[in-house]
Structure 1
Amino acid sequence: MATKLSIDHEAIPITALNCSLRKKLGLYLNPANTVASDWRAIAEMMDFTYLEIKNFEKRDYPLEKVLTEWETRPDATVANLLSILEKAERKDVTADLKDIIDEDCKKYLERLQRKPLQVPVVDSCGPRTQERDGITLYDDPQGLTPETFDAFICYCQSDFQFVHEMIKQLEQTECSLKLCVFDRDVLPGTCVWTITSELIEKRQALMVVVISDDYLDSDACDFQTKFALSLCPGARSKRLIPVVYKAMKRPFPSILRFLTICDYTRPCTQIWFWTRLAKALSLP
Structure 2
Amino acid sequence: MCATKLCEDLKCDPGSVPLVALNMNVRKRLSLYLNPRNTVAADWMSVAESMGFTYLEIKNFETSKNPTFMTLDVWQARTTDATVGKLLDILETLERSDIIEELRPLIDLDVKKYLQKRSEPPVQVPEVDSCVPRAHDRDITVGDNSEGSPELFDAFICYCQSDFQFVHEMIEQLEQTEYNLKLCVFDRDVLPGSCVWTITAELIEKRCKRMVVVISDEYLRSDACDFQTKFALSLCPGARSKRLIPVVYKSMSEPFPSILRFLTICDYTRPCTQGWFWSRLAKALALS
TM, length-normalised to structure 2: 0.53
Q: What's 2:235 paired with?
A: 231
For residues 258 and 157 of structure 1, the distance between their equivalents in structure 2, rounded to whole angstroms, comes to: 26
Q: 1:133 aligns with which of 117, 134, 138?
A: 138
Query: How many aligned positions are there?
Result: 160
Q: What's 2:275 paired with?
A: 271
For residues 266 and 205 of structure 1, the distance between their equivalents in structure 2, rounded to whole angstroms, comes to: 27
Residues 132 and 190 (structure 1 numbering): CA distance in 2 closer, same or farther, change over 3 Å?
farther
Q: 2:214 aligns with which of 210, 214, 217?
A: 210
Structure 2 unaligned residues grouped into runs of 5+ = 1-78, 84-133
Deviation beyond 4 Å, 4+ runs, structure 1: 123-127
Residues 254 and 132 (structure 1 numbering): CA distance in 2 closer, same or farther, change over 3 Å?
farther
Q: What's 2:185 paired with?
A: 181
Question: For 1:214, what is the secondary structure of its paired residue?
Answer: helix
Residues 227 and 132 (structure 1 numbering): CA distance in 2 closer, same or farther, change over 3 Å?
farther
Residues 132 and 251 (structure 1 numbering): CA distance in 2 closer, same or farther, change over 3 Å?
farther
CA contact (8 A) 1:246 1:264 kept: yes
For residues 144 and 284 of structure 2, the distance between their equivalents in structure 1, rounded to whole angstroms, comes to: 26
Residues 145 and 125 (structure 1 numbering): CA distance in 2 closer, same or farther, change over 3 Å?
farther
Q: What is the 5 A alignment of 1:9-48? A: none
Superimposed CA distance per residue, residues 159-214 of structure 1 (whole angstroms, 9 cap, x where no aligned partner):
00000000000000000000000000000000000000000000011000000000
Amino acid at match of 2:181: L
Residues 140 and 124 (structure 1 numbering): CA distance in 2 closer, same or farther, change over 3 Å?
farther
For residues 202 and 180 of structure 1, the distance between their equivalents in structure 2, rounded to whole angstroms, comes to: 12
For residues 206 and 222 of structure 1, the distance between their equivalents in structure 2, rounded to whole angstroms, comes to: 16
Q: What's 1:280 paired with?
A: 284
Deviation, 1:282, is 0.6
Amino acid at match of 2:149: T
Over the aligned positions, Cα root-mean-square deviation in angstroms equals 2.2
Amino acid at match of 2:216: S
2:138 is aligned with 1:149: no
Structure 1 unaligned residues grouped into runs of 5+ = 1-122
For residues 198 and 257 of structure 1, the distance between their equivalents in structure 2, rounded to whole angstroms, comes to: 25
Q: What's 2:171 paired with?
A: 167
For residues 132 and 224 of structure 1, the distance between their equivalents in structure 2, rounded to whole angstroms, comes to: 22
Deviation, 1:268, is 1.0
Q: What's 1:85 paired with?
A: none
For residues 164 and 152 of structure 1, the distance between their equivalents in structure 2, rounded to whole angstroms, comes to: 14
Amino acid at match of 1:228: A
Q: What is the 5 A alignment of 1:20-99? A: none
Q: 2:265 aligns with which of 238, 257, 261?
A: 261
Question: For 2:150, what is the secondary structure of its paired residue?
Answer: coil
Q: What's 2:104 paired with?
A: none
Deviation, 1:141, is 2.6
Question: For 2:217, what is the secondary structure of its paired residue?
Answer: coil
Deviation, 1:133, is 1.1
Query: Percent of pairs identical after alignment?
Result: 78
TM, length-normalised to structure 1: 0.54
For residues 220 and 163 of structure 2, the distance between their equivalents in structure 1, rounded to whole angstroms, comes to: 12
Residues 193 and 253 (structure 1 numbering): CA distance in 2 closer, same or farther, change over 3 Å?
same
Residues 125 and 165 (structure 1 numbering): CA distance in 2 closer, same or farther, change over 3 Å?
same
Amino acid at match of 2:180: S
For residues 132 and 236 of structure 1, the distance between their equivalents in structure 2, rounded to whole angstroms, comes to: 30
For residues 205 and 262 of structure 2, the distance between their equivalents in structure 1, rounded to whole angstroms, comes to: 21
Superimposed CA distance per residue, residues 36-71 of structure 1 (whole angstroms, 9 cap, x where no aligned partner):
xxxxxxxxxxxxxxxxxxxxxxxxxxxxxxxxxxxx
Higher relative contact order (CA 8 A, sep 6+): 2
Superimposed CA distance per residue, residues 229-263 of structure 1 (whole angstroms, 9 cap, x where no aligned partner):
00011222211000000000000000000000000
